[in-house]
Each structure stands twice: as structure tokens, then as C-alpha cells.
A and B are shown apart, each in its own frame.
Chain A
Amino acid sequence: SQTIHQWPATLVQPVGSPLSLECTVEGTSNPNLYWYRQAAGRGLQLLFYSVGIGQISSEVPQNLSASRPQDRQFILSSKKLLLSDSGFYLCAWRPSGEGGELFFGEGSRLTVL
């Protein structure tokens, strides 16, 4: 069966510090991978998605970046965090192709102080 893991679950970072959130999927190959952010009082915003290794599509201009160094690994990064980067970050996957159910990780809560 397929599983998705993301970590860390929670982190508190000072403004200007770097960020690295990791997500891995097991039990499948060539998945579509996604990073979403859920800010307080706001909906679920798509940040990045990838339909193949090394391929990243960015949805919102910001100081975050994503990378897919391996088929089932998706990393969200920042060189310098802003206060507005605080939120709940969710990684998700689904089988390659269009449409279909998204399977979410448990989320990473980031607080920037």
C-alpha cells in the first residue's frame, strides 16, 4: 500500500532563517506531487506541483522554492523566511495523469517569529 510521510510536524523559526520541509511517498512510482499551504483563516493554496523528477511548476510567486531530487521525494525550501510564511504546509500525491484523488500527508505547522 502507498504511504506519504512529511516532516517535521512542527517547527518554529526566526524571520530570515532557512526552511526545509521534506515529503516522501512509498509504494508507488512516478507520482504527481504537490505542496499546499493553509494559512489561518484562509483556504488551501497550491504552491508547487511536479509531474516528474526534476520538473517543478510554481503557482504563486513568493520566496519559497521546491525541488524533486528523486522520484518520490519532494522538498519545500526557503533561504530567508518571512512572517507571512507561517502556516500549515501539506504535501500530497496522486497517481500520474490528470484528475483523481489526492492523498495528503499529516502536515507541517510552521511558525515564523
Chain B
Amino acid sequence: GEDVEQSLFLSVREGDSSVINCTYTDSSSTYLYWYKQEPGAGLQLLTYIFSNMDMKQDQRLTVLLNKKDKHLSLRIADTQTGDSAIYFCAESRWFKTIFGAGTRLFVKA
């Protein structure tokens, strides 16, 4: 199918690590992305990874890519209440970007 799939909800305590998982379908995708959406706003790019990479780290964020299983994950270290948002996994296919349903992250103080 054409779907990018991710779990809908994740709840963590402040200070813990959050791991959001995603599976995609197109093995030819060259870019894989994580976007963040604050309530009532548009999406903003959080980080991305090229398909020829296995891992990318950017401050508190770590992206892991398993091309064999078409699995992408986003780890947020030391999660803060300000990280509460919806996180979208996405893959690029030619001129299109296909998004998952989004994972709503709840951070409990």
C-alpha cells in the first residue's frame, strides 16, 4: 500500500526519553523526515535523514533508519513539556511528500 504508518499516541514523563516509531512503504524514498506540529499551527521540519544513512543525531534528537525493514524512529532525549506536540513521519516520493497519521506526544510533569 501507500501508507506511512505510526502509532497515534505516546505518553512519557518529563526527563524520560521518547521514542516514536514509523514504517514506510517506498524503498526508493531518498529523504525521510520528522515534522512537528504545535496545536492549531502548520508543520515544521524537525529533522531528516538521507536514505543512505543509518543514524543521525542532532542535539536531543536521534533518528534511526532501518532500510531493510523500512522502519524509522525518532528518539527525543530528556523530554520536556515543551516537546508536547504531534510528530509526523514522512517520506519523499518524486515530487510528493507522504505523511503518516501523526503521533501525539503527551509529556507529564
Residues of chain B with a CB closer than 8 A to A44's CB: 43, 88, 99, 101-102
State whether A105 and B31 are in contact (beta carbons under 8 Å apart), knowing that A36-B99, A42-B101, A46-B98 are contacts in the complex. Answer: no
| Count of residues in A whose CB is under 8 Å from the partner chain | 23
A34 to B94, CA, bound (A): 13
User: Which residue of chain A has its CB nearest to the CB of B29?
Assistant: A99
A90 to B40, CA, bound (A): 11
CB interface residues, B 53-109, toward A, < 8 Å = 88, 92, 94-102
B44 within 8 A of partner (CB)? yes
State whether A107 and B101 are in contact (beta carbons under 8 Å apart), knowing that A44-B88, A101-B48 are contacts in the complex. Answer: no
Produce 1/0 per residue, A70-113, CB < 8 A to B. 00000000000000000000101000001111101111010000
**CB distance B43 to A98 under 8 Å?**
no
- Range of interface residues on chain B? 20 to 34
A102 to B33, CA, bound (A): 10
**CB distance B42 to A90 under 8 Å?**
yes
Residues of chain B with a CB closer than 8 A to A109's CB: 40
**CB distance A101 to B100 under 8 Å?**
no
**CB distance A51 to B95 under 8 Å?**
yes
Residues of chain B with a CB closer than 8 A to A51's CB: 95
**CB distance B101 to A46 under 8 Å?**
no
Residues of chain A with a CB closer than 8 A to B94's CB: 98
Q: Which 8 A-B pairs rank lowest in CB-CB distance, beginning with the nearest?
A: A43-B101, A104-B42, A44-B99, A99-B92, A99-B31, A101-B45, A104-B43, A106-B42
Binding site for A on B (CB under 8 A): 4, 30-31, 33, 35, 40-45, 48, 88, 92, 94-102
